[in-house]
């Protein structure tokens, strides 16, 4: 299991701003280690954000995204105390979901 994401979600005037810092290696599969062998690819492929169970963002990630990706987005709706969950799946089938309360 990967390390938890850091998520901040704040609602203001009916718009919720979400910032997510994921903790992931995001290996491209192109890099070689010190002995010259390819480092196997390991990266997030799909990401989804749900507001009270309803999906507000779906994204496909690839190898062009940096290590420990940072993602910020806004969506309409959301109020203080609502639940916001972000989850990702990587190419090895590893999953992670983290949930915060909007403030």
Binding site for other proteins (CB under 8 A): 6, 8, 10, 19, 21, 66-68, 70
53/41 Cα distance (integer angstroms): 31
Q: What is the closest distance, in whole angstroms, from the C-beta atom of residue 58 to other proteins in the complex?
A: 22
Is the sign of the CA dihedral 75, 44, 2, 31 positive or negative?
Answer: negative
Of 5 and 56, CB closest to other proteins: 5
Type and span of the H or E element at 9:
strand 6-12
Q: What is the closest distance, in whole angstroms, from the C-beta atom of residue 3 to other proteins in the complex?
A: 8
Q: What is the closest distance, in whole angstroms, from the C-beta atom of residue 19 to other proteins in the complex?
A: 5
């Amino acid at each position: 299991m990967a390390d938890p994401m850091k998520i901040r979600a704040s609602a203001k005037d009916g718009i919720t701003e979400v910032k997510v810092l994921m903790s992931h290696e995001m290996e491209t599969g192109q890099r070689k280690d010190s002995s010259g062998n390819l480092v196997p690819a390991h990266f997030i492929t799909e990401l989804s954000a749900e507001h009270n169970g309803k999906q507000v963002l779906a994204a496909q990630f690839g190898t062009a995204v940096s290590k420990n990706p940072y993602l910020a987005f806004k969506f309409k709706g959301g109020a203080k105390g609502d639940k916001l969950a972000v989850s990702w799946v990587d190419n090895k089938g590893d999953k992670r979901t983290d949930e915060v309360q909007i403030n």
